[in-house]
Amino acid sequence: MNGGLLERLAKRSNDVSLGRLKARLRENLTRHAPTLLEQARSDSRARARLKAYIADFLMREGIMLDSDRRSAMIDALHAELVGMGPLEELLADPEVQEVMVNGPSTVYVEKSGRLELTEVRFESEEALWEVLLRMVEAAGRRIDRSSPYVDARLPGGARLNAIVPPLSVKGPAITIRKFSRHFRSLEDLVRAGCVEARVADFLRSCVLQRANMLITGPASSGKTTLLNVLCALIPPGAERVITIEDAAELDLPYPHVVALEARPANVEGRGQITIRQLVINALRMRPDRLIVGECRGAEAFDMVQAMLTGHEGSMSTIHASSPYDALIRLESMVLMAGEGVPHKVIRQQIASAIDVIVHLRREADGTRKVSEVAVVLPPSPAGELALWTLFPWTEGRVPGPGEVPDWNSIKARLKEERREAEVL
């Protein structure tokens, strides 16, 4: 990883100080092209002009480099001025899945599921702040000491989380998660060993036959990736799909998709639009399916109600360590809505609303796998939620031919068992 690129290039360029070089470039821009920096932050043609300006500046400064190093220095200075600074190189690396900044001199990445300390560093905490503010501004959000954390979607689709003092004791902490472009279909996940082929067939039937699905797992286990892959199976154009997210990450290439994104409060503390408000509004937009990017609060109540009232085939994700824990968490979140619904009724509604739970886990080597697929059963006579585990991912057990039914046959079997129980 060529992390200290500018520093190394500067040392090869008449031993010029990087700090002085950047300062002179800024001063030169302020004097001779005062609007170019601002324009380059939002206009591609202005960015091209800025690169040409930097090239002329290096010539005037007598910075002598070969063609490749000269081009690299122009790109690096351009990134320092209007891009993501030293993080730009990491984000452009297709092998990097996540970037974690723990202050100006400590930057980690995740590659192939493993953490690596990089050579990347910022010149100072002020330089880190400058890059962070540019990223947040590009995402249409804000961060400062009065609003010291933010979730946002970067223009390239990566997810940004940042937290700053006074909440972050040792300076700004930034996490940027890139979403893999390698996994665009269930077949891609099967080839990568993330899901067994027969399990993939069952999941496909669940989407096409409109089962309500909950994707669960710990943080960074691949929930959003799997949700995106499953949503891509929805027949294009035949259904109206509404997606609801805190920071838009889903990428559905269909004409009849409406993407909604929550909005934080402004500087005056006004204008906040929550996930729950968007779910309630989405129900008035004639959706066939609702896709809630992540369920984490009172919106769970309205999502369950939507699944109970004809919006079959809806999906969401939830952080949980097992499918059963996901049901318990979902019950807790429904209670957060404060609607006064008795616990017994809530459990009955959850059991009726959620059809299938798909659980992922992250292995010790960093790979992500579908570890369990379970069907939600009616509550027991004691009112306890129950699951029927279809596919445990255990060593040596691979479902054989005929062991993998589709969703409609599972649903028919459950109805038959329910009728038999009522007769008894």
State the DSSP string of 240-295: -EEEEESS-------TTEEEEE-B---TTS---B-HHHHHHHHTTS--SEEEES--
Assess whether 250 and 367 both reside in one domain.
yes
Beta strand extents in 301-418 (DSSP E only): 315-319, 356-362, 368-377, 386-392
Same domain, 244 and 360: yes
Query: Among the three residues 128, 151, 178, which one is the final residue of a domain in this structure?
Result: 178
- CA of residue 406 relative to chain centroid, distance: 29
| Residue 313 and residue 250 in one domain | yes
CB of 37 within 8 A of CB of 29?
yes
Domain that holds residue 171: 87-178
**3-state secondary structure at position 235:** coil
Residues 60 and 98 in one domain: no
262 and 335, same domain (yes or no):
yes
CATH of the domain at 111: 3.30.450.370
Length of the chain: 424
**Is residue 131 domain-shared with residue 244, that is, in the same domain?**
no
State whether 169 and 318 are in the same domain: no
Domain count, the chain: 3
Residue 284 sits in the same domain as residue 392: yes
Whether pTM exceeds 0.85:
no
Q: Which of 60, 82, 104 is the last residue of a domain?
A: 82
- Which CATH number covers residue 274? 3.40.50.300
Q: Measuring CA to CA, which residue among 288, 224, 275, 279 is closest to residue 246?
A: 275
Distance spanning both ends of the chain, measured CA to CA: 68
Q: What is the reported pLDDT for 94?
A: 87
What's the token pair of residue 322? 């097992």
Task: From 153, 178, 203, give the residue that closes a domain.
Answer: 178
pLDDT tens, the chain, 424 aa long: 344 555 555 544 444 556 677 788 888 888 888 888 788 877 788 888 988 988 888 888 887 778 888 888 888 888 888 888 889 889 989 889 899 999 999 999 998 878 999 999 888 898 899 899 989 988 888 898 888 999 888 887 788 999 999 999 888 999 999 876 678 889 999 998 899 898 999 999 999 999 999 999 998 899 999 999 999 999 988 899 999 998 888 888 788 899 999 988 777 778 889 999 999 999 999 999 999 999 999 999 999 999 999 899 999 999 999 999 999 999 999 999 999 999 899 999 999 999 999 999 988 877 889 999 999 998 888 888 999 998 874 455 555 555 667 899 888 888 887 676 555 4
Give CA separation, 131 vs 33, 80, 147, 281, in Å: 21, 8, 17, 36
Measured between alpha carbons, how far is 265 from 84 in angstroms, rounded to an integer?
Answer: 25
d(CA 239, CA 305): 20
pLDDT attached to residue 163 = 96
Instruction: Provide the edge-to-edge strand list for the sheet that holds 213-217.
Output: 257-261, 241-245, 289-292, 315-319, 213-217, 356-362, 368-377, 386-392
Instruction: Specify the pLDDT at position 334.
Output: 95
Does 192 lie in the same domain as 262? yes
Whole-angstrom distance, CA of residue 129 vs CA of residue 173:
10
Q: CB under 8 Å to 176, separation ≥6 — which residues? A: 87, 91, 98, 99, 100, 154, 158, 159, 160, 161
Residues 126 and 259 in one domain: no
CA 221 to CA 259: how far, in whole Å? 24
Same structural domain, 62 and 28:
yes
